[in-house]
Structure 1
Amino acid sequence: MEPRIRHQEKAPREGRRHGAERALGDRLLALPSSRPREAGGPAPGRAPREAPPFWRRAEPRQGAKPRAEKDGRSRVGVPGQGRGRFESCWTSPSSPSPSCWSLLEPCCTSTRLLDKLQVSLGLLQLKKNGNLPDIVNSGSLHEFLVNLHERYGPVVSFWFGRRLVVSLGTIDALTQHINPNRTSHPFETMLKPLLMYQSGLNGDAVENHIRKKLYENGVNKSLQSNFAVMVKLSEELLRKWLSYPESQHVPLYQHMLGYAMKAVTQMALGSSFEDDQEVIRFQKNHNTVWSEIGKGFLDGSIDKSTTRKKQYEEALMEIESVFKKVIKERRGRNFSQHIFIDSLLQGNLNDKQILEDSMIFSLAGCVITANLCMWAVYFLTTSEDVQKKLHKELDQVLGKGPVTQEKIDQLRYCRQVLCETVRTAKLTPIAARLQDLEGKVDQHIIPRETLVLYALGVVLQDRCAWPSPYKFDPDRFDDESAMKNLSLLGFSGTQECPELRFAYMVATVLLSVLVRKLYLHPVEGQVIETKYELVTSSKEEAWVTVSKRN
């Protein structure tokens, strides 16, 4: 028999139901599965560190005599212990897991109701929590996977609530991964269950493929049709920064989020979002929704606060109402400005599908674009040589002329800067796919319909693939093998996710406008701490200063 996936040795914890289980665990269970759910207990073939509370009556001490019960039956009494003592046990010492793993057949020789409740609650807790408390205690799913892969190697598995999850942590493992499922993007697989939207994995493969192509074409067409919008927004930000004195600290993430929000809303929803008040209102609701997706659903804290949950639900409804209004206005009509929703309307999608895809694009597109721009500018402030080389390329390609789409495509080094930004920042540290058919990595079998995580944050810092992995070095992508590795991870080439493709273009235009006119400087003594969620950001605001080039 071929060996199965190596599992985490640590058994799921007991105790009260953790809020995180109600969040990510239950939402990921919404993914389709024809196999019965496995209990969130120890992996097959490994004994847990602590036995769950299955109870049996202890063996009588030597010399103890049976005593009669009121109903005439005999039972064993233990001197000094009242009606007898109980101890935790496995029903079969040779078995790695209890024979009474199912709640339907509890291992309990006592007929007392309290004992039965203890058995049921203990089993239920093991089934539901899995390793979610360990993930929360690690600080993030990414940090949990870093520790897991360091300890167990490139192919590991663990319990995400009640679902068994496989994680791949090297380029070699990802290259070997046999999975014909290409009908959805990995980021979509993670995000849709959190929004409680129907995953594209549930539908017909042909329909999902068509929907995926509509989504990709929508992103590409909106970029082509709205290139002038990107240039205009970049020049607005440039004028704002030029107005600052050289000593003024610029709140980098705040400005990048505002820039990204304007770009996404105008390209997804149209010219009505040229009004700053509309953008501010949308951004407020967007921030509320994304902050809970990134943190509240993972640690379960949103379920402990009715106020926060209400704010989240209201913000989500307001964003959806904006999209519903735009969908209704643009259905069956032609406009001079082609936006993302127009491409979806041209397909055979219903309003619900258009709404869900538009929400995914706006939420993910804003956050990925904002953080790519923020990290790119920040890393440029820390490397004067890289900034100088980028300015030289911009001067050679663009000269004194305007920024055009044809010339943007010639900025090879600028693309290397952005690729290295993605790698160094570990911009999207986790991706996910559902295994369509049984797959194999090395000698490990990945069963059909297993949720497979790509531990991208682990792979992007792998010394075997990236020499000096913690150094910001865009020149590493002069080597075609480095670009090939990045493409295998979905950060470049044909497997590049549409939201990242959008972010690359918007960030390229921004850097072309800013670096031609400005020197970007770091704030002395600033230390940036990272926050790993679905997209990596800074825990606190990142600050920079700027000065005008001669």
Structure 2
Amino acid sequence: MLDFAIFAVTFVIILVGAVLYLYPSSRRASGVPGLNPTDEKDGNLQDIVNRGSLHEFLLGLHEEYGAVASFWFGRRPVVSLGSLQQLRQHINPNHSTDSFETMLKSLLGYRSGTGATESVMRKKVYENAIDNTLKHNFPLVLKLVDELVSKWSCVPAEQHTPLCAHLLGLALKTVTETTDAFIIEHKQIHIWSEIGKGYLDGSLEKSSSRKVQYEKALSEMEGLLTSVVTERRAQRRHTAFVDILLQSNMTEPQVMEDCMVFTLAGCVITANLCIWALRFLSASEEVQDKLYQEIQEVLGSEPITLEKVPQLRYCQQVLHETVRTAMLTPVAARLQEVEGKVDQHVIPKETLVIYALGVFMQDPDTWSSPYRFNPDRFEEESARKTFSLLGFSGSRTCPELRFAYTIASVLLCSVIRRLRLGTIEGQAMEVRSELVSTPKDETWLTVSSRK
């Protein structure tokens, strides 16, 4: 499970690092209060390392300098926003950009398009492909989930169930089989572990051998995806993710790139959401029982359908609270496309602006008892609107997260209908401060029949 830990924990820092290194940036000081660079070349990089993670660094930064604060990554100024009011000011004028896709494609060296219009059109094709893939392959999702839950149902009461290993496997299967890539699982993890280790110790830039290893792993996966694209074009099918992309005007290299983004991003988001949702449920029989009651009322004895998923409101609240409490996305980032302003602070063009979502998710002024897992808080419309504003729900949700929510909803329905989850005595549940929260090494659960 060490590869999985590296794969999950370093995912967002890789993306943020990609923008910082690969995008042009204004060299002008922003005038926003914050830290001076402690090193002329590295800026405040050592300060981030000393705090243990970017999230912990941002907690301290905003505590000292307020909701709008700045620091330096290398020779480049970065502005961080750490409260809802300031996030709202910046998100609204920049709603057309997709920070997640921008960072991931920058890392991989891909471009969304040659112009703004082409980028928007390509993004729509990508989002529609994910949505249509779910519609065409929903029976496959049900089958994969049922296979896992049936396996858990046969586990003896005295045997413990490895949550991370099983749910990473489920995420990989649902993403790769609906893509029709059938990618060998370790290849994806190998790519991210190589990048992750390189960014954490700097060896990706400093070591030619490490860079060769990463480029080899990436090239192998791109070659595999390219062969899938070529084969599927000849077959003229219309059910998998790659098929739907091929029906557009995109070139085969562009189709390969979007398949790469979906398989990598879809796997990590789906795995982490499912892992933490079941982990939190295992610690609360009350939440399990409330979710079971909703499933009985909405579905009865019928299987879940794609149309029924939005009707499971409490299930959605459980997933919202999982994202919030576990800080599955503690940091996002946008490139300031034009000169902007937050409060009285001017943000120069091409400055990287970080959304310190982890700081905001722990803000007691916004969330009562912020460290407590409480799905009931999302019964309030204000909480749902806040989540929608940040892109965690509603029409602005990133397509990979919408995909993950659907898979997680199916999983929760199947598990709660048939099983009771329990924690193991002596195994603490730790929501750590890394950029992508994940149970350390492995988390074990107990499962027992509900009837």
Q: Normalising by structure 2, report the TM-score.
A: 0.90
Q: Which amino acid aligns with 1:343?
A: I
Match of 2:334 in 1: 433
Match of 1:367 in 2: 268
Aligned pairs for 1:109-508 (under 5 A) are: 126=40, 128-177=41-90, 180-195=93-108, 197-200=109-112, 203-269=114-180, 273=182, 282-302=184-204, 308-331=210-233, 333-335=235-237, 338-508=239-409
Contact in 1 for aligned 2:33/2:69 (Cα 8 Å): no
Provide the secondary structure at the position in 2 that maps to 1:546.
strand
In structure 2, what is the Cα distance between the partners aligned to 1:454 and 1:547? Answer: 41
In structure 1, what is the Cα distance between the partners aligned to 2:33 and 2:95? Answer: 32
Contact in 1 for aligned 2:336/2:353 (Cα 8 Å): yes
In structure 1, what is the Cα distance between the partners aligned to 2:104 and 2:18? Answer: 14
Percent identical residues: 55
In structure 2, what is the Cα distance between the partners aligned to 1:350 and 1:544? Answer: 46
Q: Give CA deviations for 1:249-280 in whole Å, capped at 9, x if unaligned.
A: 1110110100000000011125xx3xxxxx5x
Provide the secondary structure at the position in 2 that maps to 1:458.
helix
Shift of 1:461: 1.1
Cα distance, 1:541–1:548 mapped onto 2, change above 3 Å? same
Q: Which amino acid aligns with 2:160?
A: H
Contact in 1 for aligned 2:178/2:241 (Cα 8 Å): yes
In structure 1, what is the Cα distance between the partners aligned to 2:378 and 2:425? Answer: 29
- What RMSD over aligned residues (CA atoms) do the two structures have, in Å? 2.6
In structure 2, what is the Cα distance between the partners aligned to 1:517 and 1:527? Answer: 25
In structure 2, what is the Cα distance between the partners aligned to 1:533 and 1:301? Answer: 20
Cα distance, 1:433–1:191 mapped onto 2, change above 3 Å? same
Q: Which amino acid aligns with 1:385?
A: E
Provide the secondary structure at the position in 2 that maps to 1:374.
helix
Cα distance, 1:366–1:250 mapped onto 2, change above 3 Å? same
Q: Give CA deviations for 1:258-313 in whole Å, capped at 9, x if unaligned.
A: 0000000011125xx3xxxxx5xx21111112224445314314456666544433
Q: Which amino acid aligns with 2:60?
A: N
Q: Which amino acid aligns with 1:213?
A: K
Contact in 2 for aligned 1:28/1:193 (Cα 8 Å): no
Structure 1 window deviating more from structure 2 (349-358 vs 508-517): it is: 349-358
In structure 2, what is the Cα distance between the partners aligned to 1:251 and 1:466? Answer: 32
Provide the secondary structure at the position in 2 that maps to 1:221.
helix
Shift of 1:531: 5.0
Q: Which amino acid aligns with 1:369?
A: T
Contact in 1 for aligned 2:37/2:43 (Cα 8 Å): no
Q: Which amino acid aligns with 1:318?
A: E
Cα distance, 1:475–1:353 mapped onto 2, change above 3 Å? same
Q: Which amino acid aligns with 1:428?
A: T
Q: Which amino acid aligns with 1:185?
A: D
Shift of 1:464: 1.2
In structure 1, what is the Cα distance between the partners aligned to 2:127 and 2:33? Answer: 44
Q: Give CA deviations for 1:144-195 in whole Å, capped at 9, x if unaligned.
A: 1111111111111111122211111111111111664444422123323333
Shift of 1:444: 1.0
Structure 1 window deviating more from structure 2 (22-31 vs 353-362): it is: 22-31
In structure 2, what is the Cα distance between the partners aligned to 1:46 and 1:28? Answer: 18
Q: Give CA deviations for 1:35-62 in whole Å, capped at 9, x if unaligned.
A: 5x459xx979999698xxxxxxxxxxxx
Cα distance, 1:22–1:460 mapped onto 2, change above 3 Å? closer
Q: Which amino acid aligns with 1:525?
A: G
Q: Which amino acid aligns with 1:29?
A: Y
In structure 1, what is the Cα distance between the partners aligned to 2:362 and 2:33? Answer: 31
Shift of 1:501: 0.5
In structure 2, what is the Cα distance between the partners aligned to 1:43 and 1:174? Answer: 18
Q: Which amino acid aligns with 1:390?
A: L
Q: Which amino acid aligns with 1:255?
A: H
Provide the secondary structure at the position in 1 that maps to 2:123.
helix
Q: Which amino acid aligns with 2:321?
A: E
Contact in 1 for aligned 2:33/2:68 (Cα 8 Å): no
Q: Report whether the alignment pairs 1:31 with 2:23.
A: yes
Shift of 1:332: 5.8
Match of 2:8 in 1: none
Contact in 1 for aligned 2:270/2:404 (Cα 8 Å): yes
Contact in 2 for aligned 1:141/1:533 (Cα 8 Å): yes
Shift of 1:25: 5.7
Provide the secondary structure at the position in 2 that maps to 1:397.
helix
Cα distance, 1:453–1:241 mapped onto 2, change above 3 Å? same
Match of 1:61 in 2: none
Q: Give CA deviations for 1:424-450 in whole Å, capped at 9, x if unaligned.
A: 000111111111221111111111121
In structure 2, what is the Cα distance between the partners aligned to 1:23 and 1:476? Answer: 30
Q: Give CA deviations for 1:356-393 in whole Å, capped at 9, x if unaligned.
A: 22211111110110010000000001111001100111
Structure with a larger share of its residues in helix? 2
In structure 2, what is the Cα distance between the partners aligned to 1:24 and 1:410? Answer: 35
In structure 1, what is the Cα distance between the partners aligned to 2:291 and 2:137? Answer: 25
Unaligned runs of 5+ residues in structure 2 are: 1-12
In structure 1, what is the Cα distance between the partners aligned to 2:193 and 2:60? Answer: 25
Provide the secondary structure at the position in 1 that maps to 2:316.
helix
Q: Give CA deviations for 1:56-110 in whole Å, capped at 9, x if unaligned.
A: xxxxxxxxxxxxxxxxxxxxxxxxxxxxxxxxxxxxxxxxxxxxxxxxxxxxxxx
In structure 1, what is the Cα distance between the partners aligned to 2:254 and 2:37? Answer: 46
Shift of 1:315: 2.3
Contact in 2 for aligned 1:324/1:355 (Cα 8 Å): yes
Shift of 1:29: 3.5
Contact in 1 for aligned 2:336/2:350 (Cα 8 Å): yes
Cα distance, 1:356–1:135 mapped onto 2, change above 3 Å? farther
Q: Give CA deviations for 1:322-344 in whole Å, capped at 9, x if unaligned.
A: 110111112264215x1222232
Unaligned runs of 5+ residues in structure 1 are: 1-20, 51-124, 274-278
Shift of 1:493: 0.9
Cα distance, 1:249–1:353 mapped onto 2, change above 3 Å? same
Aligned pairs for 1:48-67 (under 5 A) are: none
- Equivalent pairs counted in the alignment come to 439
Contact in 2 for aligned 1:25/1:162 (Cα 8 Å): no
